[in-house]
Each structure stands twice: as structure tokens, then as C-alpha cells.
Structure 1
Amino acid sequence: MSGVLRLAFSTAFFGLALAGCAGGGDSGGSQAGEGPTEALAIVTDTGRHTFQVEIADDEAERQRGLMYRPPLADDRGMLFQFPEAEEQSFWMHNTPSSLDILYIAPDGRIISIARNATPNSDTPIPSNGAANGVLELRGGRAAEISADPGDQVVHSFFGND
């Protein structure tokens, strides 16, 4: 079980408290509760697909994720950054809309994709390999752009931008 999942189970009340604070004003993004964004691309057989992503690079941000948020727009996402590549496991606790969860290796290669994750589910969704990046997109979006394991995610975090 990854540190994120252990942390999620042990700090559920902390996450709820933070989520209550997260629904405030717009911090530069175009969706309610969204913070500043950065460009990220996914290169698939159908071309280069560009997204604006929020960055979750500390424990509080990773814990909160997209809880209590409205569905993502087609060109939006959240990139979770971890200091070490290891087996990751996410869940959909208090996340009201379906997401695609892309687990990403340190070189930017997609390891696995959990498609259309069930909203509000506490079932762990494993990466099935060592990942240091996890990208959440609107449920169904990965299929729309033909994203598959082995495709490349381009962003400065992976050193390939």
C-alpha cells in the first residue's frame, strides 16, 4: 500500500477539513477551486494533446486532490508529483465525478491507466508498477485521445519538455 493510500486512510478528517478550505475563490484557473496551472502534453498515436494541469507536489495537495470538485473540463487535469518512483495507489474518496487515472514512470512513459474510476469509491486503484507521477483527467478523456500504456507524457517534472 502506498504512502498516499496509508495517509488517506489515516488522515481522512484532515482531508475533509482541507477540502472545506479549498472551495474558495479562483486562484488563476478557470474552474471553481482550481489553482494555478501548467502546460502538459500527452503524445499518442493520434497526436499531441495539450492540457492545463494543477500540480499536487506536497502531502496536503496530494491528499486533497480533486475531492469535492466539479467535473474537469476536457483540457484540464491534475498532476500528482512524488519524490520517489514506487507502487502508487489512488482512490476516489469524496470525488464526485469519474476520472481517468494515468500512472507515469520517471521518464514520462505511461505505466497504466485506470479508466472511468468510480466516483466516491474507497476501493484502492493500484499503478501496477513504479510511478512518480499520476495524472488525473476527466473520465473517458484518455480513450478520446487514444492514450495507452507506453505513450509519453511531456512535462518539466519528467525532464522531457
Structure 2
Amino acid sequence: MKPIPKALAGLLLAACAAMGASAQEGPQRLQAIALNAGMHNIRAEVAATEEQRQKGLMFRKEMAAHEGMLFVFEQSAQRCFWMKNTLLPLSIAFLADDGTVVSIADMQPQQLDSHCSSQPVRYALEMNQGWFAKRGIKPGFKLSGAPFSNAPR
């Protein structure tokens, strides 16, 4: 096997560097919005692209009690999540277009079990495990915030 010429090696290195952000193993930090669950304020990072949704909260070692991640999809469908490379125990609320909680699941770190919505949804909100239960938030509860304000009534 011949060694790679230095010029070609440099080009390969530059191409790898250009892809770098998606290939790195580290937590992503995304733009955040304000959501409300009754009197409880939430700072939710928004995962709106396929790449952002795939990485989600992977590799996070800690998250403040009022923080979470809102997964936004283009259209309603049954949504399933798992916890590969996710270090924190999380609870996930699957949300209808108007912010109504459809179902909630607790998820354990680094597990490949699927946690799916009970019906088609466009949104899912991940928070530290137990966040919804501690606040009495159950299916039927309605969250408020910009993503849900344009939903048909």
C-alpha cells in the first residue's frame, strides 16, 4: 500500500475539518425559546433540523431544572425516541400542535428502548426525569409558547 501524498492528505484533513461539528462527540447548544407550563417557566433549546433532532441532548452531563429541549417536526406523525449516548435520565412529553400533552414517558440514560407517542405529534419536549410528575403535568395539560400559538383551535 502506497502512502497518501501530502497534498491529498491536506485536502482530506480540510474536508474532515469542514464536517467537524457534526462528527464531534460533545453536547450541542441550540437557540432557546421560552415555554410555560402554567406558572413554570421553561428555557427550551429548539432542535428543528434532522441533524439537531438526531443529536438531541446526547453527551450532556448536566441540565438546569428549568431547561429542556423542544423537538420540532414538519408534520405530525408517531414519534419515537431513544437514549443512545444520552447521559441524563429524562422525561419526554409528546405534544399536540396546540401544546397539549398527549403522553409522557420516563427514559433511562444510554438505553436503546424506544419511547413513542401514543398518537401523531409535531413536538416533543425533553426535561430532567421527573420534571413533569413533580409539577402535576399529565396528558391533557396544555403548555404555552410561540410554537403553539398559531395552532388551529
Tell whether the structures are fold-level matches, with TM greater than 0.5: yes
1:42 paired residue number: 37
**Letter in structure 2 aligned against 1:75:** H
Distance 1:153 1:19, change over 3 A: farther
Indicate which of 134, 140, 150 corresponds to 2:140. Answer: 150
Larger radius of gyration: 2
Match for residue 45 of structure 2 among 54, 61, 78: 54
**How many aligned residue pairs are there?**
131
Contact 1:71 1:138 in 2 (8 A): no
The residue number in structure 2 matching 1:100 is 91
User: In percent, how many aligned pairs have the same letter?
Assistant: 33
Change (3 A) 1:151 1:19: farther
- Structure 1 gap segments, 5+ residues each: 1-16, 24-32
Distance 2:137 2:22 in 1: 32
Distance 2:23 2:105 in 1: 24
The secondary structure found in structure 2 opposite 1:102 is strand
Q: Cα 1:91–1:20, aligned 2, differ >3 Å: closer, same or farther?
A: same
The whole-number CA distance in structure 2 between the counterparts of 1:77 and 1:126 is: 18
Which 5+ residue runs of structure 2 have no aligned equivalent?
1-20
> In 2, Cα distance between the equivalents of 1:81 and 1:91?
16
Counterpart in 1 of 2:55?
Answer: 64
> C-alpha offsets along residues 98-123 of structure 1, whole Å, 9 cap, x if unaligned?
000000001110000002x1110111
Q: TM-score, normalised by structure 1?
A: 0.76
Runs of 4+ residues over 6 Å off in structure 1:
none
Q: Output the aligned Cα RMSD.
A: 1.8
TM-score by length of 2: 0.79
Question: By percentage of residues, which structure has more strand?
Answer: 1
Are 2:71 and 1:80 aligned? Answer: yes
Match of 2:22 in 1: 18
Asked if 2 retains the 8 angstrom alpha-carbon contact of 1:80 and 1:134, the reply is yes
Q: Is the 8 A contact 1:154 1:160 kept in 2?
A: no
